[in-house]
Chain A
Amino acid sequence: MPDPSPPALEMVDVSKSFGGVQALRGVDFMLRAGEIHGLVGENGAGKSTLMKIIAGVHAPGSGRMTIEGRDVSFRTPREAIAAGIGMVHQELSTVPDLTVAENVFLGKQPTGTGGLVAWRRMRSEARRQLADLGLDVDPRQRIGALPIGLQQLIEIARVVFSGARIIILDEPTSALSPPEVELLFTVLRRLREAGRSIIFISHFLDDILRISDSVTVFRNGRHVATSAVAAIDKAWVIEQMIGRGHADLEESYTSEIPLAAKPGAPVAMQAQGLTMGRTFRDVTLDIRKGEILGIYGFMGCGQIELARALFGKIVPDSGTLTVAGRPRRLRNTTAAHQAGIAFVPESRRAMLFGQEPVYKNASIAILGRIAKLWLRPGRERELASAQVAALGIRPSNVEARLGALSGGNQQKVALAKWLSFPPDVLILSEPTRGMDVGAKDDVVRIVRRLRDEGLAVVVMSTEPETVLSLADRILIMKKGEIVREFADGGVTKDQLLAAA
Chain B
Amino acid sequence: MAVPVEQRSAATPGRTSAWVRNQMRNIAPFATLLCLVVFFTLASSSFATLDNLANILTQISVTGIMAVGLTFVILCGEIDLSVAAIANATGIVVAYFTAQDTYVNIANLPLPGAVAILLGLLACAALGLVNALGLTLIGIPSFIMTLAMMQIGAGISALLVRGQIAYAVPSLVTTLGSGSIHGVPWIVLLLAVFLLVAHVVLGYTRFGRYVYMVGGNREAAEYSGVSVKTILNAVLIISAVCSGVAGMVGVAHFGSAQQNEFDTYLLDSIAAVVVGGTSLFGGRGGIGNTIVGLFVLGVLNNGLDHIQIDSFLKILIRGLILLAALVINVYAQRLRDAEARTGG
Chain A contact residues, CB within 8 Å of chain B: 311, 313, 332-334, 336-338, 343, 345, 349-356, 360, 364-365, 367-368, 371-375, 397, 401, 403-406, 417
The reply to whether A375 and B209 contact each other, CB–CB distance below 8 Å, is: yes
Residues of A within 8 A of B343 (CB): 403-406
Q: Separation in Å of the A429 CB from the closest CB of chain B?
A: 10
Closest A residue by C-beta to B342:
A403
The reply to whether A364 and B340 contact each other, CB–CB distance below 8 Å, is: no
Instruction: Give Cα A368–Cα B224 distance, bound, in whole angstroms.
Output: 11
Q: A372-B206, A401-B344 are in contact. Are A333 and B213 (CB under 8 A)?
A: no
Which of A333, A353, A368 contacts B222, CB < 8 Å?
A: A333
Q: List 24 A-B contacts (CB under 8 A).
A: A313-B223, A332-B222, A332-B229, A333-B224, A333-B225, A336-B225, A337-B224, A350-B220, A351-B220, A351-B224, A353-B213, A353-B220, A354-B217, A355-B283, A355-B340, A364-B213, A364-B224, A365-B225, A365-B226, A367-B210, A372-B206, A373-B207, A397-B4, A404-B344
B12 near A: Cβ within 8 Å? no
Q: Mark B209-250, 1 if CB is under 8 A from A, else 0.
A: 110110011011111111101100000000000000000000
B180 near A: Cβ within 8 Å? no
The reply to whether A334 and B209 contact each other, CB–CB distance below 8 Å, is: no
The reply to whether B206 and A334 contact each other, CB–CB distance below 8 Å, is: no
Residues of B within 8 A of A372 (CB): 206
The reply to whether A355 and B344 contact each other, CB–CB distance below 8 Å, is: no
Which of A360, A375, A403 contacts B344, CB < 8 Å?
A: A403
Residues of B within 8 A of A360 (CB): 209, 213
Residues of B within 8 A of A313 (CB): 222-223
The reply to whether A337 and B225 contact each other, CB–CB distance below 8 Å, is: yes
Residues of B within 8 A of A333 (CB): 222-226
Instruction: Give Cα A67–Cα B266 distance, bound, in whole angstroms.
Output: 63
Instruction: Give Cα A338–Cα B227 distance, bound, in whole angstroms.
Output: 11
Q: Separation in Å of the B212 CB from the closest CB of chain A?
A: 8
Residues of B within 8 A of A417 (CB): 224
Closest B residue by C-beta to A403:
B340
Which of A334, A352, A354, A403 contacts B226, CB < 8 Å?
A: A334
Instruction: Give Cα A373–Cα B283 distance, bound, in whole angstroms.
Output: 20
Instruction: Give Cα A338–Cα B339 distance, bound, in whole angstroms.
Output: 35
B284 near A: Cβ within 8 Å? yes
Instruction: Give Cα A417–Cα B229 distance, bound, in whole angstroms.
Output: 21
The reply to whether A343 and B223 contact each other, CB–CB distance below 8 Å, is: yes
Q: A353-B213, A354-B340, A360-B209 are in contact. Are A345 and B223 (CB under 8 A)?
A: yes
Instruction: Give Cα A349–Cα B223 distance, bound, in whole angstroms.
Output: 11
The reply to whether B216 and A355 contact each other, CB–CB distance below 8 Å, is: yes
Of B219, B220, B225, B283, the most chain A CB neighbours within 10 A belong to B225
Which of B204, B206, B216, B336 contacts A353, CB < 8 Å?
A: B216
B205 near A: Cβ within 8 Å? yes
Interface of B is mostly: helix
Instruction: Give Cα A349–Cα B340 distance, bound, in whole angstroms.
Output: 11
Q: Separation in Å of the B291 CB from the closest CB of chain A?
A: 21
- Nearest 10 interchain pairs by C-beta: A337-B225, A404-B344, A365-B224, A334-B227, A403-B340, A364-B224, A354-B340, A353-B216, A371-B206, A350-B219
Residues of A within 8 A of B205 (CB): 373-375
The reply to whether B223 and A350 contact each other, CB–CB distance below 8 Å, is: yes
Residues of B within 8 A of A345 (CB): 223
Q: Mark B272-308, 1 if CB is under 8 A from A, else 0.
A: 0000000000011000000000000000000000000
Q: A334-B226, A401-B344 are in contact. Are A355 and B336 (CB under 8 A)?
A: yes
Residues of B within 8 A of A375 (CB): 204-206, 208-209
Instruction: Give Cα A336–Cα B225 distance, bound, in whole angstroms.
Output: 7
Q: Separation in Å of the B181 CB from the closest CB of chain A?
A: 31
Which of A343, A364, A368, A374 contacts B221, CB < 8 Å?
A: A364
Of A338, A354, A367, the most chain B CB neighbours within 10 A belong to A354
Residues of B within 8 A of A365 (CB): 224-226
Residues of B within 8 A of A332 (CB): 222, 227, 229
Instruction: Give Cα A372–Cα B207 distance, bound, in whole angstroms.
Output: 9
Residues of A within 8 A of B336 (CB): 355
The reply to whether A374 and B226 contact each other, CB–CB distance below 8 Å, is: no
Instruction: Give Cα A12–Cα B106 distance, bound, in whole angstroms.
Output: 89
Residues of A within 8 A of B283 (CB): 353, 355
Q: A360-B209, A367-B206 are in contact. Are A351 and B223 (CB under 8 A)?
A: yes
Residues of A within 8 A of B230 (CB): 334
Instruction: Give Cα A356–Cα B344 distance, bound, in whole angstroms.
Output: 12
Residues of B within 8 A of A354 (CB): 217, 340
Of A337, A343, A364, A404, the most chain B CB neighbours within 10 A belong to A364
Residues of B within 8 A of A352 (CB): 217, 220
Closest B residue by C-beta to A368:
B206
Q: Separation in Å of the B197 CB from the closest CB of chain A?
A: 13
Residues of B within 8 A of A368 (CB): 206
Q: A313-B222, A334-B226, A374-B205 are in contact. Are A353 and B217 (CB under 8 A)?
A: yes
The reply to whether B209 and A367 contact each other, CB–CB distance below 8 Å, is: yes
Residues of B within 8 A of A336 (CB): 225
Residues of B within 8 A of A401 (CB): 344
Closest B residue by C-beta to A407:
B343
Q: Separation in Å of the A293 CB from the closest CB of chain B?
A: 20
Closest A residue by C-beta to B215:
A353
Residues of A within 8 A of B206 (CB): 367-368, 371-375
Residues of B within 8 A of A364 (CB): 209, 213, 220-221, 224, 226
- Seed contacts A373-B207, A401-B344; 17 additional CB < 8 Å A-B pairs: A311-B223, A333-B223, A334-B226, A336-B225, A337-B224, A337-B225, A350-B219, A353-B217, A354-B217, A355-B340, A356-B216, A360-B213, A364-B226, A372-B206, A374-B204, A375-B208, A403-B339
Q: Separation in Å of the B203 CB from the closest CB of chain A?
A: 8
Closest A residue by C-beta to B219:
A350
Instruction: Give Cα A355–Cα B213 distance, bound, in whole angstroms.
Output: 10
Instruction: Give Cα A403–Cα B221 distance, bound, in whole angstroms.
Output: 16
Instruction: Give Cα A333–Cα B227 distance, bound, in whole angstroms.
Output: 7
Q: Separation in Å of the B142 CB from the closest CB of chain A?
A: 19
Instruction: Give Cα A371–Cα B207 distance, bound, in whole angstroms.
Output: 10
Q: Separation in Å of the B339 CB from the closest CB of chain A?
A: 7
Residues of A within 8 A of B207 (CB): 373
Q: Separation in Å of the A493 CB from the closest CB of chain B?
A: 31
Residues of B within 8 A of A338 (CB): 225
Closest A residue by C-beta to B225:
A337
Residues of B within 8 A of A337 (CB): 224-225
Residues of B within 8 A of A355 (CB): 216, 283-284, 336, 340
Q: Mark B111-134, 1 if CB is under 8 A from A, else 0.
A: 000000000000000000000000
Q: Separation in Å of the A416 CB from the closest CB of chain B?
A: 12
Residues of B within 8 A of A373 (CB): 205-207
